[in-house]
Amino acid sequence: MDDRYRIQTIISFLNTTYGHLSWWDAPFDEVAIGAILTQQTRWENVTLALWQLHAAGLATLSSIDAADPGEIEQCIRCTGFYRVKTSRLRRLAACILDNFGDRMRNKHLVDGRMTEEPIPDQSKDYLEQMSRIDTEELRRTLLMVNGVGEETADSILCYGLFRPVCIIDAYTQRICECAGIRSDQKQLRQLFLEELHHDNALLRSFHGQIVEYGKAYCGKKRCSECMITALNG
């Protein structure tokens, strides 16, 4: 039984167990913010933090970029590591606004001084700008942000920009290990992409299924009840 067969079986089992999941359905800014907040915490805490950010008028990247760090910290304290996450949120917001938003500037010398002028014929909407850019280039840009790792970047691309990206998180790796899959993270990503036909809707649903199964079994240490371990034989 090779890794591809085991992966096909996992996909089939999760589809039978959970059906198609529309997970995570939110605007881009909320997805980007949530991808940072979800690091090392439970989703329930992220939901509360997002609600508090909305209530404070801080649920967009531009508002995060302009806000006093203390305001953000108060809203996201429930997610843990709130000072670290505030810094990461601000760096992510700055990265997106600087590279794709209305802060994009064409720098040039005037009278010996560097000035900045808007680039002609460029939309100020960063979503429009990002839609024109290759997925791997976007991924490289996001990964340049201190505090944005592969899982965070891929979550933003998959759920925020609807790109055909497979998110390999801790649950995915644990479930694959329990199933006897020996492929490394890069190989896993490629195998899942192929088996899910590079289809964003399927990739989104699959990651949601993994999270639900992981919470029910891995998170509660119900290993003896896990059907997926039967593949490791």
For the chain, what are the domain ranges? 3-231
* Amino acid letter, residue 24: W
Tell me the three-class secondary structure of the chain, residue by residue. CCHHHHHHHHHHHHHHHHCCCCCCCCCHHHHHHHHHHCCCCCHHHHHHHHHHHHHCCCCCHHHHHHCCHHHHHHHHHHHCCHHHHHHHHHHHHHHHHHHHCCCCEEEEEECCEEEEEECCCCCCCHHHHHHCCCHHHHHHHHHCCCCCCHHHHHHHHHHHCCCCCCCCCHHHHHHHHHCCCCCCHHHHHHHHHHHCCCCHHHHHHHHHHHHHHHHHHHCCCCHHHCCHHHHCC
Query: In the beta sheet, which residues pair with residue 105?
Result: 118
Question: Which of residues 174 and 108 earns the better pLDDT score?
Answer: 174
Mean pLDDT of 86-92: 98
| Residue 105 pLDDT exceeds 50 | no
Instruction: Give residue for tokens 């700055």.
Output: 94
Mean pLDDT of 155-182: 96
Confidence of residue 34 (pLDDT cuts 50, 70, 90): very high
Given this model, what pLDDT does residue 120 score?
38
| Residue 67 pLDDT exceeds 60 | yes
| Residue 207 pLDDT exceeds 60 | yes
Report d(CA 12, CA 6) in Å as an integer: 10
pLDDT above 90 coverage of the chain, percent: 80
The encoded tokens of residue 224 equal 């003896």
Over residues 113-147, the pLDDT tens digits come to 545 554 433 334 899 999 999 999 999 999 999 99
Mean pLDDT of 154-160: 98
The encoded tokens of residue 170 equal 């801790």
On whether the CB atoms of residues 175 and 228 are closer than 8 A, the answer is yes
Given this model, what pLDDT does residue 113 score?
53
Question: Which of residues 102 and 49 earns the better pLDDT score?
Answer: 49
CATH topology of domain 3-231: Endonuclease III; domain 1 (1.10.340)
- Distant-in-sequence, close-in-space partners of 72: CB < 8 Å, separation ≥ 6: 53, 58, 64, 86, 89, 90
Whether the pTM exceeds 0.85: the reply is yes
Report d(CA 205, CA 14) in Å as an integer: 10
Over residues 12-26, the pLDDT tens digits come to 999 999 999 988 889
Cis peptide before 24 (omega within 30 of 0): yes
